[in-house]
Amino acid sequence: MSESARQDTPEQAEFRQQCRQWLQQNKPAEPTVRLPLSPLEIMTDEQLSYLQAWQKSAYDAGMVGCDYPVAVGGGGRTDCQRIANDEMIRARTPFFPNVIGLGMAAPTVFYHGQDALKEQLLPRLFSGEDIWCQGFSEPGAGSDLASVQTFAERKGDKWVINGHKVWTSLAHFAEWMILLLRTDRSHKYDGLSYFVVPIRAALGNGVTVRPLIKITGETGFNEVIFENLEVDDRYRLDELGKGWQVAMTTLLHERGAGELQTPRAGGMKSKATHATSSTNLIELARSVQRNGRPAAQDPLIRDRIMQMVIREQGLAQNQRRARVSALQDHPLRLQLQNKLLASEISQDTAAIAVEVEGASASLYLGDTNAPAGGQWPMAYMNSYGMTIAAGTSEVQRNILGERVLGLAKSK
């Protein structure tokens, strides 16, 4: 029995058993299509429909939205989502495609939406039938999120929206968008409001979605342009001018520090999924020759791999220590480090892998001689998405310096 299972409440223990049995019989077979590294790189309809079918079946089995009330399509359970997550990851299932919906839109709609809206939106969000995307960043508003300029002007019970959003993952598949915009130009923070917008219904009629191509050559994120899009006032979350506070709920959950646990699945092996872990780094170093012997025999390479082993273990132990209150001096100190550390560790691991590969690191996905199918150079390039998105590493260091160490706020 795992340590976490030992501490289950009776409800959790029974639920865990239920999940485990269902997964044994119903875990989907591996797909015939190449699965992307993460939901944010879904490129084709085939990939999406495979993943959507999986999310729907997991939802129908009660493993998605477990801790939300039954009235909004949830399972009405207490602290059971993490049990379902444990079991799905243990069973090495595919991941869920609707990550923005599950991780960010659902808690935001739940805490700030009207009841009718929650009942309308959340069941199809949990089932994955409606894919969601997030309209926060703009060409002129990156790290300084509160400077968004997309504007909604009131027209009776409707709002007319004009503006330009960027880095919008999944927008090309999305029915709905969570949208941070401005309703008042005279106040930076208090002039912001927050909407949910049915973008798919308005494609070609006020909404344009154009793919942005990443440095890897993959698509997956987009720019979204609003031209006189009319939206009902009932799609507004919380009060007018409270957009920044609502956005904080979104970001808190995005960083894994929110009240509601995000439904999470994954772990299925596929030809194209190559986790950037130091274990893989050791395997790679054993298989690649360097100066006439395996790279794993080179003292400098060994030292660098051990540095990654130690950082990876340090992060895992941080997460363990974060649950022992007697070993912490500040409640947010470890929580706020997670995203920064995980993204920088992945990046440095991939950088070392590419170095270990030597000349072969020049070979990319389309080359049959590329080691590990060319995944390491791709993982290395993709890692910059992680150190930039959801608050760059520089913004994370500002947050830690100011909120945890108490240093003077940077402008």
Q: By the criterion CB under 8 A, which residues form the site for another protein?
A: 3-4, 7, 282, 285-286, 293, 296-297, 299, 302-303, 305-307, 309-311, 313-315, 317-318, 320-321, 323-324, 326-327, 333-334, 337, 340-341, 394, 397-398, 400-402, 404-410
- Could you tell me the end-to-end alpha-carbon distance of the chain, in angstroms, rounded to an integer? 51
Task: Based on the residue annotation, tell me whether 254 is a catalytic residue of this protein.
Answer: yes
Q: How far is the CB of 374 from another protein (least distance, A)?
A: 24
Q: Are 67 and 244 spatial neighbours (Cβ–Cβ below 8 Å)?
A: no
DSSP 141: B
Task: Give the CA distances from residue 321 to residues 258, 316, 331, in Å, rounded to whole numbers and listed in that order.
Answer: 18, 9, 11
| Identity of the residue, 29 or 326, whose beta carbon is nearer to another protein in the bound complex | 326
Q: Which of helix, strand or coil describes residue 96?
A: coil
Q: What residues are paired with 195 via a beta bridge?
A: 179, 236
Out of 254, 283, 355, 402, the active site residue is 254
Q: What residues are paired with 93 via a beta bridge?
A: 267
Q: How far is the CB of 312 from another protein (least distance, A)?
A: 10
Q: How far is the CB of 313 from another protein (least distance, A)?
A: 6
Joined together, the tokens standing for residue 409 give 């706020």
Structure-token match 């801790």, residue found: 67
| Identity of the residue, 209 or 386, whose beta carbon is nearer to another protein in the bound complex | 386
**Can you say whether the dihedral through the CA atoms of 261, 263, 267, 273 is positive or negative?**
negative
Of 223, 257, 41, 204, the closest CA to residue 136 belongs to: 223
| Identity of the residue, 252 or 404, whose beta carbon is nearer to another protein in the bound complex | 404
Q: Directed axis angle between helix 299-321 and helix 338-357, to 10°?
A: 160
| Identity of the residue, 43 or 322, whose beta carbon is nearer to another protein in the bound complex | 322
Q: Are 336 and 403 spatial neighbours (Cβ–Cβ below 8 Å)?
A: yes
CA torsion, points 33, 39, 44, 49, in degrees to nearest 10? 70
Q: Where in 170-305 does DSSP place strands (E)? A: 176-182, 192-198, 207-212, 221-232, 236-237, 289-290, 293-294
Q: How far is the CB of 294 from another protein (least distance, A)?
A: 9
Within 10 Å of residue 327's Cβ, how many Cβ atoms? 10
| Identity of the residue, 215 or 327, whose beta carbon is nearer to another protein in the bound complex | 327
Q: How far is the CB of 232 from another protein (least distance, A)?
A: 43
Q: How far is the CB of 333 from another protein (least distance, A)?
A: 7
| Identity of the residue, 181 or 285, whose beta carbon is nearer to another protein in the bound complex | 285
| Identity of the residue, 242 or 302, whose beta carbon is nearer to another protein in the bound complex | 302
Q: How far is the CB of 269 from another protein (least distance, A)?
A: 22
Quick one: three-class SS letters along 23-42? HHHHCCCCCCCCCCCCHHHC
Joined together, the tokens standing for residue 323 give 């649950």
Q: Are 79 and 67 spatial neighbours (Cβ–Cβ below 8 Å)?
A: yes
Q: Point out the residues that are catalytic.
A: 254
